Amino acid sequence: SEAGTRGLQPRVLVLANQKGGVGKTTTAINLGTALAAIGEKVLIIDLDPQGNASTGLGIDRKSRQISTYHVLSGEASLAESITETVVPGLSVAPSTLDLLGVELEIANERNRVHRLQSAIRGLSASEVSEPFTYILIDCPPSLNLLTINALTAADAVLVPLQCEFFALEGLSQLLKTVEQVRSALNPQLTIHGVVLTMFDPRNNLSGQVVADVRQFMGSKVYETMIPRNVRVSEAPSHGKPVLLYDLKCAGSQAYLRLASEVIQRERALRAA
């Protein structure tokens, strides 16, 4: 049936916030791992030239011969860039610093904002042994052409917000950009949710920020908050998601809860 066929399309979620250091990459890696751990087949597309998602998943430079740079510049297909990770069920399309140059290279191409969308559509038609159920796109800390490509390709946006004083600053600019992409390029685009990161219950300010964000964004904010947790920050230097590094720590447990919340929202969206 048509619904059945559509059900096989991966859900494409983009991790976006033009602020750096708010937990986009950490959330891509660990939400991806948690989704894979509960049986989803997940692809992380690393769209940040820094390549932190690739490094944090243990992909060394030698294993990045075909990267998202080649995908966006049209030299390779997304399938050709896909690399397996240490996590069963989780693959990555890695990035390298070459990606910094792609924006200028394709600046005058008519289809420049649709490069990633075409690559993802091409993937579902090509022979991937087991189709992906989720694609997570890790964005750079900027609302540049890379992020616009991600928003154009996505079903929904997941916004990591750090629990700090300036958390809401910049959020309205991000929401405006999402609205512009929705009206001009991708009518299906929605906000999946806002995830509060690096929450510290001993810090009164953290609690105030949570209250403000919940007031501003209402039910869009996930119930799960990711605590500030040293194990989360140590894991990338071991080339592992925190769930493989220390499954029992508070950070791992929070990412598992976030994954089940994401899946619950997906079910609600599909039923609607």
Q: State in angstroms the smallest separation of the CB of 24 from Mg ion.
A: 5
Q: State in angstroms the smallest separation of the CB of 22 from Mg ion.
A: 8
Our finding on whether 251 is near ligand ADP (CB under 6 A) is yes
Helical packing angle, 250-271 and 24-37, nearest 10°? 80
Q: State in angstroms the smallest separation of the CB of 196 from Mg ion.
A: 17
Nearer to ligand ADP, 139 or 217 (CB): 139
Q: Which two tokens stand for residue 251?
A: 């950070």
Q: Cβ(148)–Cβ(180) under 8 Å?
A: no
Our finding on whether 233 is near ligand ADP (CB under 6 A) is yes
Our finding on whether 83 is near Mg ion (CB under 5 A) is no
The CB-side HSE value for 143 (13 A sphere, CA atoms) comes to: 14
- Binding to Mg ion in span 35-54, by CB under 5 A: 52
Q: Cβ(208)–Cβ(197) under 8 Å?
A: no
Q: Which amino acid is at 205?
A: L
Nearer to Mg ion, 52 or 229 (CB): 52
Using the contact rule CB under 6 A, the part of the chain among 67-75, 78-86, 226-234, 260-268 near ligand ADP is 226-234
The CB-side HSE value for 63 (13 A sphere, CA atoms) comes to: 15
Q: Among residues 75, 77, 80, 88, which one has the least CA distance to residue 64?
A: 80
Our finding on whether 201 is near ligand ADP (CB under 6 A) is no
In 23-88, alpha helices (H): 24-37, 52-56, 68-73, 78-81
Our finding on whether 197 is near ligand ADP (CB under 6 A) is yes
Using the contact rule CB under 6 A, the part of the chain among 24-32, 38-46, 169-177, 205-213 near ligand ADP is 24-32
Q: Which two tokens stand for residue 155?
A: 């079903």
Q: State in angstroms the smallest separation of the CB of 20 from ligand ADP.
A: 4
Our finding on whether 207 is near ligand ADP (CB under 6 A) is no
In 38-165, alpha helices (H): 52-56, 68-73, 78-81, 102-105, 115-125, 145-153
Q: Which residues bind ligand ADP (CB under 6 A)?
A: 20-26, 52, 141, 197-198, 226, 228-229, 232-233, 236, 251
Positions that interact with Mg ion (CB under 5 A): 24-25, 52
